[in-house]
């Protein structure tokens, strides 16, 4: 299984997940124009798209992807908030497993300020990926994981020191995972088969990208990547 990060963060989230000859979009929080550019104009090769919730940084291009002939999977609550309908819209429900070709997908609830947000457990062949984003925490345990994509939005200590509106601070802490919550998730789950960890949706101002990556890799012993990756302040 290969993971390609097209964008991650409050300005947009989009990833390409590939296994064998099949690939799909996980989130579509960029414009279609930007998605085309990011995929080297390979959108037509995407088998489908999974969307977690209605916020623009995750679902911006959903309607345009459907117009382009790509099936888009999401909850009924998300579709309702986006005003979507049509045969390219595929409604899924938490805890109900479905298949698309060789992909086997289990949606599950997330804790976020959205209509009916979901996260996904995704399997293909001997690979099993969990995708966790825009959630205060994960109430579930997993076995047999080989890849983890997980939001590490902020550090509580950094956030507490910032002079930002209390309501915004409270929203961030109640709807996004901190690095400490992420580390707790790793301690609670069986990581014996995990090959790589991706830290995603890092805040521009409330996170320490390289520090987060180092903390996770030191604690788990698993190759860990963060996005964006920076060297000397420059984005790779």
Phi, psi of 20 (to 5 degrees): 60, -130
169 pLDDT tier (thresholds 50, 70, 90): low
- In the predicted model, is pLDDT for residue 205 greater than 80? no
Provide the pLDDT for residue 158.
64
Q: Name the token pair of 224.
A: 């860990």
Domain edges within the chain: 2-235
* C-alpha separations of 231 from 4, 153, 154, 207, 235 in Å: 19, 20, 20, 15, 7
Q: What is the DSSP letter of 197?
A: E
pLDDT tens digits, one per residue of 97-123 = 999 999 999 999 999 989 999 999 999
What integer best gives the mean pLDDT of the chain? Answer: 90
CB 16 within 8 A of CB 37: no
Can you tell me the mean pLDDT for 124-149?
A: 96
Q: Alpha-carbon distance 157 to 164, whole Å?
A: 14
pTM of the predicted protein model? 0.91
Give bridge partners of residue 98 from the DSSP assignment: 105
Q: Burial letters for 24-48: b for 16+ Cβ neighbours within 10 Å, e otherwise? A: bbbbbbbebebbbebbeeebeebeb
104 within 8 A of 128, measured Cβ to Cβ: no
Q: Which residue has the higher pLDDT, 188 or 113?
A: 188
Q: Does domain 2-235 have CATH number 3.40.50.300?
A: no
pLDDT above 50: residue 235: no
Q: pLDDT tens, 22-45?
A: 999 999 999 999 999 999 989 999
Q: Encode 55-91 in three state secondary structure.
A: CHHHHCCHHHHHHCCCCEEECHHHHHHHCCCCCCEEE
């Amino acid at each position: 299984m290969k993971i390609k990060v097209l964008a991650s963060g409050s300005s947009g989230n989009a990833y390409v997940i590939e296994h064998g000859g099949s690939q799909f979009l996980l989130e579509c929080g960029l414009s279609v124009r930007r998605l085309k550019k990011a995929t080297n104009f390979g959108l037509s090769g995407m088998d489908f798209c999974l969307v977690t919730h209605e916020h623009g940084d995750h679902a911006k291009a959903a309607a345009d992807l459907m117009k382009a002939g790509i099936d888009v999977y999401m909850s009924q609550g998300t579709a309702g908030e986006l005003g979507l309908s049509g045969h390219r819209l595929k409604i899924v429900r938490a805890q109900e497993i479905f298949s698309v070709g060789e992909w086997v997908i289990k949606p599950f609830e997330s804790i976020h300020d959205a209509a009916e947000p979901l996260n996904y457990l995704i399997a293909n062949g001997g690979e099993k990926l969990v995708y966790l984003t825009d959630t205060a925490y994960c109430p579930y345990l997993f076995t047999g994981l080989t890849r983890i994509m997980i939001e590490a939005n902020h550090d509580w200590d950094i956030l507490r020191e910032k002079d930002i509106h209390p309501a915004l601070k409270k929203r961030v802490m109640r709807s996004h995972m901190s690095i400490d919550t992420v580390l707790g998730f790793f301690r609670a789950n069986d990581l014996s088969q995990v090959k790589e960890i991706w830290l995603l949706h890092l805040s521009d101002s409330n996170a320490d990208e390289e520090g987060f990556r180092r903390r996770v890799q030191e604690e788990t012993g698993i190759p860990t990547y963060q996005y964006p990756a920076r060297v000397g302040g420059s984005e790779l």
